[in-house]
Structure 1
């Protein structure tokens, strides 16, 4: 298991921050019909209950956006992933179909508003992850985005460098169909409310679609 640390910079600016880690043995698949039935149902439900100007009012999305602002990052230009997913739904854009683990994490984000990092644990360098703030010119290759300017973004770093922000995770540690060890981090900039429910929901999906026992959970 990994040791998770939160930097003093984050603690000072975001005193309500709470995180949860799920570390699980999994079997990933290119596609799951059953999972996508749930995703399609969640998207249809979201369309009937939300307008696009309401997306950022979700307490978990709003708290993440406020964290960006505290570090000088424009959340309208670098949207948290949960917000970006929900906006795609309301703009009638198709959701990306990546693989079962990524799609599962996206479903939890849609249902909860949490931006969730998903990593292949075997690709992480060392056994310590620390949440800090991105620096100017810090190298970070976002998944499908090329080099991403992470200055002012909250970022998890391993022994090699940044692996995840609420906007995008890094190519170096991304999930693939070969992934057998999942490390998922649920970022609660809004505090503890809703965090245990999000963890339980993800664990239930892992049991149903990723041949997992739900994994080990650590709150920090």
Structure 2
């Protein structure tokens, strides 16, 4: 079986990459071999554009993976989630795509008369099939932005437009879109590094979130490589 492990930046998953390398029976460039599978490591960069290109390139070679895993940190809009908590994002959507109205409010593509097209559902969500039910992590709905939210006005705008969104990232919807378009099973794991609020980097816990993310990721990968 072939797996793809994707992160926006190396810093988010380098502990797991090193852990995998120690256990691999062989390596070819960014592909690690194990007795029952091989795992391709891919860094897509920040944002939807670089993520989409990276995945299009990875899936377009005629040998797509059976499972793609995106791992990263994210911000929580839902305050019931805890800093450092690992969540399983099972649906995602684009939040800042559309047009700005005269009063500064965002008009979504649907509000502009452009109905969502496959693989989006009628409400604009991307909901891929995948192994979510077997994982011990809370399932949440994600929202993807090109610019990380940093004002209370923007937070309220997301809550008004997309009340179901619990976690914000800059890549999740692009990952789900590419996987669904290529018929690849998708798993998106994120660790909460901060709350989505007025920008306050002093309140972020990136080391704690990255540590929790890699612990969860290694737990998920262990059955494949043992």
Tell me whether the two structures share a fold, i.e. TM-score over 0.5: no
TM-score when normalising by structure 1: 0.29
Between structures 1 and 2, the one with greater helix share: 1
Greater Rg, structure 1 or structure 2? Answer: 2
More contact order relative to length (CA 8 Å, sep ≥ 6): 1
Between structures 1 and 2, the one with greater strand share: 2
